[in-house]
């Protein structure tokens, strides 16, 4: 008990210290004032308070997760079966991903001109990112079609497919420059690039931080929580959420490292608001976007390592859980 209290106090003071340090750094780097400074401070302290609160309430949250899992499991025909080991194709794709990310980062260091030429607007890697997102969406829909008797899994897969289509479409401005259609006047007035997109409305970076948070959650945080936190693992399995495997967390961390190195090499270390070169501060962002799209495609193609029953068993599962199974769950 005493040890837990000391740890909790350490986390609280560490959070306060980190918040004060980030507040000073952001204020100094951005030279912000007025509403902009207040917004930045609110974002920093909201994150500090939320993370600290989650840590202090971890025991209660674990109990809540366990109770929710019990209720959700009562409606499952059978527990979700996740494969622990990656297949050969997934391991090979992960190795190619790591080598490709390292090669592109090395190119940013050795030849910034060639690197930026590859990641320009309407460049090869921008269209490659869109194709990878569309491929991930197609894989999710194909898997959803096979997931008979798994209504929750189908729901999540359909949502992911929609998300991937949206992100891929936004990446290439929904084919605006390919087809050649214009931007409605009302949208052009608020879009900083005058494009038929939502992610450039009002600011180029409006969706950067939320986007990074979502991808970090899906490709890093949730895989690690599923691997190492038993109550949350049980809840995610009861929800039938297609959590990416732990391999994704390692590859995502490597992608972020490449992103940081490329930004420093180019002199545009976004998302930091500083720049010491003539390059526009978005080429390293484009690198990270491409790597993230590749990660989603890799793990969607691996069907999120969820094992589905044979067709005959799937038809039986659609009839609902056996009475004996329901009785056992009610008695727990």
List pLDDT tens digits, range 154-165. Answer: 999 999 999 999
Low-confidence residues in the chain, pLDDT < 70 = 1-4, 25-37, 39-40, 174-209, 270-281, 309-332
Domain holding 143, by residue range, is 80-331
49 and 120 fall within a common domain? no
What is the CB-side half-sphere exposure of residue 110 using CA atoms within 13 A?
6
Same domain, 265 and 316: yes
61-71: b (≥16 Cβ within 10 Å) or e:
bbeebeeebee
Tell me what pLDDT residue 326 has: 41
Residue 260 lies in a domain: yes
Domain for residue 65, yes or no? no
Question: Domain check: are 176 and 264 in the same one?
Answer: yes
Instruction: Assess if residue 36 is contained within a domain.
Output: yes
Contacts (Cβ under 8 Å, ≥6 apart) of 152: 239, 240, 241
Q: Is 69 within the bounds of a domain?
A: no
The pLDDT of residue 140: 93
Q: 272 with 216, same domain?
A: yes
- Which of 140, 141, 197, 137 lies closest to 165 in space, CA to CA? 137
pLDDT at residue 332, as a whole number = 43
Clarify whether residues 308 and 184 are in a common domain.
yes
Q: Residues 42, 179: one domain? A: no
pTM for the model: 0.76
Phi, psi angles (nearest 5°) of residue 246: -55, -30
Give me the pLDDT at residue 293, please: 94
How confident is the model at residue 1, as a pLDDT?
56
Handedness of CA 114, 115, 118, 119 (dihedral sign): negative
Cα 295-205-262 angle, rounded to 5 deg: 55
Same domain, 87 and 48: no
In this structure, what token pair is assigned to residue 201? 């409305």
Same domain, 154 and 283: yes
* 184 and 49 inside one domain: no
| pLDDT, position 331 | 36
pLDDT at 290: 93
Residue 203 has a pLDDT of 55
Among candidates 202, 231, 206, 220, which has minimal Cα distance to 59? 231
**In a shared domain, residues 204 and 298:** yes
236, 125: one domain: yes
Is 73 within the bounds of a domain? Answer: no
Number of domains in the chain: 2
The verdict on residue 211 lying in a domain is yes
Residue 59: φ, ψ to 5°:
-65, -45
Q: Is 191 among the domain residues?
A: yes
């Amino acid at each position: 008990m005493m040890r837990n209290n000391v740890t909790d106090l350490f986390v609280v003071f560490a959070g306060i210290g980190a918040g004060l340090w980030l507040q000073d750094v952001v204020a100094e780097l951005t030279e912000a004032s007025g509403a902009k400074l207040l917004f930045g401070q609110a974002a920093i302290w909201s994150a500090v308070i939320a993370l600290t609160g989650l840590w202090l309430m971890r025991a209660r949250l674990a109990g809540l997760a366990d109770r929710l899992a019990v209720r959700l499991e009562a409606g499952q025909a059978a527990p979700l079966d996740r494969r622990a080991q990656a297949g050969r194709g997934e391991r090979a794709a992960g190795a190619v991903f790591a080598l490709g990310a390292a090669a592109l980062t090395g190119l940013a260091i050795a030849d910034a001109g060639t690197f930026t030429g590859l990641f320009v607007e309407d460049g090869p890697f921008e269209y490659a990112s869109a194709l990878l997102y569309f491929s991930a969406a197609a894989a999710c829909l194909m898997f959803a079609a096979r997931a008979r008797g798994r209504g929750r899994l189908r729901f999540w897969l359909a949502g992911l497919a929609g998300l991937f289509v949206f992100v891929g479409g936004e990446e290439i401005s929904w084919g605006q420059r390919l087809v050649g259609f214009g931007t409605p006047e009302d949208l052009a007035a608020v879009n900083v690039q005058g494009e038929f997109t939502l992610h450039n409305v009002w600011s180029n970076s409006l969706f950067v931080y939320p986007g990074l948070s979502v991808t970090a959650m899906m490709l890093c945080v949730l895989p690690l929580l599923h691997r190492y936190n038993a109550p949350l693992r049980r809840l995610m399995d009861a929800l039938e959420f297609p959590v990416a495997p732990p391999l994704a967390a390692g590859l995502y961390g490597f992608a972020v490292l490449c992103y940081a190195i490329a930004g420093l090499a180019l002199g545009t270390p976004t998302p930091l608001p500083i720049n010491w070169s003539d390059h526009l501060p978005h080429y390293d962002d484009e690198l990270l976007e491409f790597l993230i799209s590749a990660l989603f495609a890799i793990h969607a193609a691996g069907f999120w390592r969820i094992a589905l029953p044979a067709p005959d068993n799937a038809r039986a599962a659609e009839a609902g859980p056996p009475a004996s199974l329901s009785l056992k769950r009610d008695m727990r």
